[in-house]
Structure 1
Amino acid sequence: EEGLAVWDYKTGQLPSPAEVLSHWAHPQLPAYAAALTRRPLTDEAKRRFPSLPDGKPAVRGGYVALRRVRDLRAAFLREPGRGVGDVVLSEKLGEWERAVTARLEGPRTGRFAADPRPPFLGPGREGACAFCPYDKICGYFDGTDRRMAEEEEEA
């Protein structure tokens, strides 16, 4: 197929397509796609990689699982819930950029509310919270962060 492919090597669990494309919890592949499509090629890049297309190529991406050498496997990222058709990451960049911009708005205004990705969705689906020892003080579960933000907006 035409275009480029980017690979992210993982030594642990591979993220689900929803974690990458809906929750934007693993930003590496979209960031790599942005780097490949949102720039003119430098002369050095053209010299070193003459097969790189100039312009805005279609960029697909996926993961290479590195658990054991004999179990090495690579798989392109697929749409959540579909299982068919590789995701063209370069077509998702607008959505990814809006999500990144929204996530940075709080810190840019001095608010650092807990925003775990993937989010807590209930018992057995703890998302990023499953690995965090600070659940009693972060304000995510009791709404402290949200109340503080609302009070600041009203003031």
Structure 2
Amino acid sequence: MLRLVGGSFNDSDIPTIDSKLHTTVRNGKSLKMQVWDTAGQERFRTITSSYYRGALGIVMVYDITNAVTFESIPKWLEEVDRYSQEDVCKLLLGNKCDMEEERKVPQQDGETFAQNNGSIFFETSAKSSANVESSFNNLVDKILETMYE
């Protein structure tokens, strides 16, 4: 989230719950997104469900160098499906693609999971900013498409 909304990178692994405003331009119109980082740790699960209600888009992130984080995605998707609107747009991100030599989760696994669950998929790097902006732009485009169908 820091990379998207502030252009910065923090190497800290300390979980946070935070929100930021991000402005993007689509079709000549300025759109403001309120982006919530709800942290993926189990201890935050009881409060994160309230953030899903009314959300137009959900981003689920795993670490490509840590298979356990990918294995937890189905549980988070279950939460999303339980508490969000039926037509919520979903984005699955495999983060740390700059650390290819330490990869534990094959890219194909992320792609397959996303495809099977109606999600957009990207691999990103918060450190190098690879695909950060384009992944969120794809999510925004999907949200707009869904809103005007």
Q: Tell me the TM-score normalised to structure 1 length.
A: 0.28
Q: Tell me the TM-score normalised to structure 2 length.
A: 0.29
More helix by share: 2
Greater gyration radius? 1
More strand by share: 2
